[in-house]
């Protein structure tokens, strides 16, 4: 079976004379244009509303909405559509007026096949070139955005790695010093391990966010106890928070079933949520974690009494590397108030949750705190509801 050719362009011919419509349709179809016809401007606007049209070939003089009125409507509502006017010698002045209103060109009646085809072909070439220019501009803009992200990536990663690298190097050198006791050297080793863990976390974060952004983050689902996981994470961070005097409350739901999710990825979600809450809650504040089952979803809420998010920032918080505070001004401590971060925590959370077919909601008021709600659908490990 012979496949149909892709039309060179889609053309709408508008004229109240049937003979002109048939002439244009036959002449342009022969050179691979897709043609639609209308007998007046009002019908033409309906066709434009319902179809993708590249060029309108319109008569100037028509009883129901003339060509100039049609042209004005097209340029207002369909600015990328080109218009070629058709007119008799007596209406040349109106044809020139149509050019001022944005028409591509005009043709004199009686129409000549070669002249009509030449003007239409040139018009379509212009459309093609304009489309390519728009696409190139879009590519250029995307490349500029990627360059900006790359620059931020380098700046933030360098900033984040500088502290753990410095700590590790300094404390490694102390291990060879006889002036320190074995107990002190054990403490140095603990600092070095933490520094290495921080470096590993930063590198893993970068790998994971690339996967999340490209939709390549595939959960390896197993059944596990979400409440137990949260309790384990709270135990791990309790020593780091002793100086902060933060009140962390865990309010687990009773008899919540095991969740079917990627254990490692969900652990990252909980860690990032807690990390954000800790960093933006002043000393003495409260962080509350809730778990519950709501309809067909597991719901995890992390709520804090921190600084909150300004209204103008709420629409940007899931953007990669976006930070509410200036990354050059923050504290280097990951657990300190307004401590540093890579700016990928919330985008990573969103990527992981969406990879589980869930969603994230954020409620925040500047000066009062933030509530992050995570919804994960109840799905078995094999992907069945």
Q: Quick one: residue 295, left, alpha or beta (phi over 0 = left, psi -120 to 50 = alpha)?
A: left
Query: Count of alpha carbons within 13 Å of 228, Cβ hemisphere only?
Result: 9
Domain boundaries, the chain: 10-111, 138-216, 219-385
Beta-sheet pairing, 286-294 with 297-304? antiparallel
Give, in order, the Cα–Cα distances in Å from 367 to each of 280, 308, 310.
10, 5, 9
pTM of the model: 0.55
Q: Which of 11, 19, 67, 20 is nearest to 40 (CA)?
A: 67
Residue 215's pLDDT is 73
- Look at the domain 138-216 and name its fold: Helix Hairpins (1.10.287)
Query: Count of alpha carbons within 13 Å of 194, Cβ hemisphere only?
Result: 17
Greatest pairwise CA separation for the chain in angstroms:
106
| Chain-centre distance for alpha carbon 245 | 38
Q: Encode pLDDT of 90-115 as tens digits.
A: 577 877 888 899 999 999 999 999 99
Q: Which residues pair with 351 in a beta bridge?
A: none
Beta-sheet pairing, 10-14 with 55-59? parallel
Question: Cα separation of 325 and 69, whole Å?
Answer: 53
The total of other beta-carbon atoms located within 10 Å of residue 376's CB is 22
Q: Encode pLDDT of 5-51 as tens digits.
A: 788 899 999 999 999 999 999 999 999 999 999 999 999 999 999 99
- Look at the domain 219-385 and name its fold: Heat Shock Protein 90 (3.30.565)
Residue 173's pLDDT is 83
Residue 320's pLDDT is 73
- Look at the domain 10-111 and name its fold: Rossmann fold (3.40.50)
Task: Kindly state the tokens that stand for 288.
Answer: 């509350």
Q: What is the dihedral of CA 288, 292, 297, 299, to 10 degrees?
A: 0
Which pLDDT tens digits describe the chain residue by residue (385 residues)? 445 678 889 999 999 999 999 999 999 999 999 999 999 999 999 999 999 999 999 999 888 888 999 999 999 999 999 999 998 865 778 778 888 999 999 999 999 999 999 999 999 999 999 989 999 999 998 888 778 767 766 776 676 677 778 878 888 888 878 888 888 888 888 888 877 877 887 777 777 777 776 677 889 999 999 999 999 999 888 876 777 788 999 999 888 899 999 999 999 999 999 988 998 899 889 999 999 998 899 999 999 999 998 888 888 888 876 676 544 444 445 555 656 556 678 888 999 999 999 999 999 999 999 999 999 998 755 555 5
- Give a three-class secondary structure readout of the chain: CCCCCCCCCEEEEECCCHHHHHHHHHHHHCCCCEEEEECCHHHHHHHHHHCCCCEEEEECCCCCCCHHHHHHHHHHHCCCCEEEEEECHHHHHHHHHHHHCCCCEEEECCCCHHHHHHHHHHHHHHHHHHHHHHHHHHHHHHHHHHHHHHHHHHHHHHHHHHHHHHHHHHHHHHCCCCCCCHHHHHHHHHHHHHHHHHHHHHHHHHHHHHHHHCCCCCCCEEEECHHHHHHHHHHHHCHHHHHHCCEEEEECCCCCCCEEEEHHHHHHHHHHHHHHHHHCCCCCCEEEEEEEEECCEEEEEEEECCCCCCHHHHCCCCCCCCCCCCCCCCECCCCCCCECCCCCHHHHHHHHHHHCCCEEEEEEECCCEEEEEEEEECCCCCCCC
Residue 350's pLDDT is 92
Structural contact between residues 107 and 58, judged by C-beta atoms closer than 8 angstroms? no
Residues 6 or more apart whose CB falls under 8 angstroms from that of 72 comprise 101
């Amino acid at each position: 079976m012979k496949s149909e050719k892709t039309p060179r362009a889609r053309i709408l011919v508008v004229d109240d004379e049937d003979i002109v419509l048939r002439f244009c349709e036959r002449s342009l179809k022969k050179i691979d244009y897709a043609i639609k016809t209308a007998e007046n401007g009002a019908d033409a606007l309906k066709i434009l509303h319902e179809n993708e049209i590249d060029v309108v070939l319109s008569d100037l003089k028509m009883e129901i909405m003339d060509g100039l009125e049609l042209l004005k409507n097209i340029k207002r509502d369909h600015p990328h559509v080109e218009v070629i006017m058709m007119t008799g010698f007596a209406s040349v002045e109106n044809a020139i007026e149509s050019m001022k209103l944005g028409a591509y060109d005009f043709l004199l009646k009686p129409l000549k096949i070669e002249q009509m085809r030449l003007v239409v072909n040139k018009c379509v070439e212009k459309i093609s070139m304009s489309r390519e220019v728009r696409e190139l501009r879009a590519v250029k803009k995307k490349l500029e955005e990627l360059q900006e992200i790359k620059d931020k990536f380098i700046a933030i990663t360098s900033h984040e790695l500088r502290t753990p690298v410095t700590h590790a190097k300094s404390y490694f050198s102390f291990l060879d010093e006889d002036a320190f006791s074995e107990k002190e050297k054990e403490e140095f080793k603990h600092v070095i391990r933490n520094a290495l863990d921080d470096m590993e976390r930063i590198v893993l974060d970068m790998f994971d966010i690339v996967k999340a952004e490209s939709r390549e983050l595939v959960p390896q689902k197993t059944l596990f106890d979400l409440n137990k996981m949260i309790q384990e994470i709270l135990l791990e961070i309790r020593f780091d928070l002793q100086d902060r005097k933060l009140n962390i409350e865990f309010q687990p739901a009773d008899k919540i079933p095991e969740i079917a999710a990627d254990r490692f990825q969900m652990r990252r979600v909980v860690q990032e949520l807690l990390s954000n809450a800790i960093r933006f809650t002043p000393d003495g504040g409260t962080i509350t974690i809730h778990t519950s089952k709501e309809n067909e979803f597991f719901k995890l809420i992390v709520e804090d009494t921190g600084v909150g998010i300004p209204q103008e920032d709420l629409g940007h918080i899931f953007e990669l590397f976006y930070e509410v505070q200036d990354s050059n001004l923050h504290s280097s401590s990951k657990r300190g108030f307004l401590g540093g971060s890579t700016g990928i925590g919330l985008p990573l959370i969103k990527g992981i949750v969406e990879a589980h077919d869930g969603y994230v909601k954020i409620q925040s008021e500047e000066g009062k705190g933030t509530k992050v709600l995570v919804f994960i659908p109840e799905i078995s490990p094999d992907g069945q509801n």
